[in-house]
């Protein structure tokens, strides 16, 4: 049986209006809605499609975070993943710590593929996949817009989105692949899927029990809200619009 590891991150819903915490270096979590990082949701969908195509495949989702993270793991299970691993911690986890934790999870089993989002929408760091591949000494293909795995799970053909076009790579498995937006359209969990997800295995591991260094390399010093947008103006004609664009905005 081939096994696919899909790391997912718990992030604040992009439709939530976030507020900066009184400490000034983090957001207030009061009343916010948490979701699966959208890029990771694409990775879950791709892993499930591979399972549906190949048959004898197990999809394992893993996430790092506080108690509530199990909700996002259950969402992935409802989509069709087989089991989940929750590394439980309230600590701040940066990309460096995340890749160390994920490497430990990878080494505890036998996975043929790691597929994950190219970045998280909260930090936008786009580092964890690359760091994980380097730490494990695995091939990597980032920003995938198409993924084809051969029947024996020996190689992957990956189309990547790069500046100026597309690049096609063939890499040996096991490997780390990170997903771009155009790889697929994730499915919504079905009602039967939600019911089944409640009975699927979800292992909880305390971060302290892994025995690895997860001290963050990145410290958030302060956060500031974006500057208020200036009010717009109405123009009376195309000529007036062109005049303002040329002489005031100086964009034409």
Going from the C-alpha of 67 to that of each of 9, 127, 208, the distances in angstroms are: 13, 25, 15
> What is the predicted pLDDT for the residue at 9?
97
Query: Residue 63 contacts by C-beta under 8 Å, 6 or more apart in sequence?
Result: 7, 8, 9, 10, 69, 72, 73, 84, 85, 86, 87
DSSP 130-157: HHHHHHHT--EEEEEEEEEE-TTSSEEE
> What is the predicted pLDDT for the residue at 169?
96
Q: Which residues of the chain have pLDDT under 50?
A: none
> What is the predicted pLDDT for the residue at 190?
95
Whole-number Å distance between alpha carbons of 107 and 95: 18
Whole-number Å distance between alpha carbons of 157 and 149: 6
**Report field, pTM of the whole predicted structure over 0.85:** yes
Helices (H), ranges, the chain: 38-54, 69-79, 95-107, 128-136, 191-197, 238-247
Cβ count near 209 (within 10 Å): 9
Contact yes or no for 208/171 (Cβ under 8 A): no
Strands 83-88 and 155-162: unpaired
Contact yes or no for 173/153 (Cβ under 8 A): yes
Residue with tokens 């970045």: 119
């Amino acid at each position: 049986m081939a096994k696919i590891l899909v790391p997912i991150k718990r992030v604040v819903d992009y439709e939530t209006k976030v507020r900066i915490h009184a400490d000034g270096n983090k957001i207030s979590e009061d009343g916010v809605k948490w979701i699966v990082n959208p890029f990771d949701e694409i990775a879950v969908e791709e892993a499930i499609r591979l399972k549906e195509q190949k048959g004898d495949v197990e999809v394992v989702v893993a996430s790092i975070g506080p108690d509530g993270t199990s909700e996002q793991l259950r969402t992935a299970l409802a989509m069709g993943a087989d089991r989940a691993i929750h590394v439980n911690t309230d600590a701040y986890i940066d990309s460096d710590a995340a890749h160390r934790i994920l490497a430990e999870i990878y080494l505890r089993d036998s996975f043929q593929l790691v597929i994950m989002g190219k970045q998280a929408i909260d930090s936008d760091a786009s580092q964890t996949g690359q760091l994980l591949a380097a730490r494990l000494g695995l091939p990597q293909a980032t920003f995938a817009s198409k993924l084809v795995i051969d029947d024996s799970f020996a190689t992957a053909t990956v189309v990547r989105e790069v500046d100026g076009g597309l690049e096609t790579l063939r890499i040996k498995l096991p490997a780390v692949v990170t997903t771009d937006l155009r790889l697929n359209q994730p499915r919504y969990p079905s009602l039967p899927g939600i019911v089944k997800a409640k009975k699927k295995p979800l292992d909880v591991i305390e971060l302290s029990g892994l025995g690895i260094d997860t001290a963050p390399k990145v410290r958030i010093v302060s956060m500031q809200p974006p500057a208020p947008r200036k009010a717009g103006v109405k123009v009376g004609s195309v000529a007036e619009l062109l005049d303002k664009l040329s002489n005031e905005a100086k964009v034409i």
